[in-house]
Amino acid sequence: MQRIARQAQQADGFVFACTEYNYSVAPALKNILDWLSRLPDSQPLSGKPVALMGAGGGMGTSRAQYHLRQSAVFLNLQPLNKPEVFANAFAGGFDDQGNLHDEKIAALIGEQMNTLVAAIKATR
């Protein structure tokens, strides 16, 4: 946890690539956010932009991502609004190794990364 806290402190922004379990955020990711929100001397997430993306079932982890946005309010994370990246993991867009072959999703991710860089520059 101390290593993650140090990395988060040093980061200018974040990419949360989240799965969805039973319509919500993967517990491991939520657990990290909860611990990072309770560090005694720092708030390593506060004020920093975060890009959200995910691959899951037919809804593309949208429900999990919207739950993440709710937690981001209290954490004072700054989630990018658009583009949203909701990928279907089971419709042929990924190969057996998990590599992405869906050109539309790849383009969205590229656009999202450019938006993240712009948001980070704007916070400096």
Q: Which stretch binds ligand FMN (CB under 6 A): 5-13, 38-46, 54-62, 116-124?
A: 54-62
The residue assigned the tokens 């700054």 is 78
65 binds ligand FMN (CB under 6 A): no
Interface pattern 93-122 for ligand FMN (x via CB under 6 A):
------------------------------
CA–CA distance, 91 with 93 (Å, rounded to integer)? 6
- Number of residues near ligand FMN (by CB under 6 A): 10
Return the number of other C-beta atoms located less than 10 Å from residue 65's C-beta: 22
Q: Which of 5, 11, 17, 59 binds ligand FMN (CB under 6 A)?
A: 59
Residues 1-30, interacting with ligand FMN (CB under 6 A): 19-23
Residue with CB nearest ligand FMN?
Answer: 56
C-alpha to C-alpha distance for 32 and 75, rounded to whole angstroms? 12
Q: Does 91 engage in binding with ligand FMN (CB under 6 A)?
A: no
Question: Rule CB under 6 A: is residue 44 a binding residue for ligand FMN?
Answer: no
Residues within the interface to ligand FMN (CB under 6 A): 19-23, 56-57, 59, 61, 89
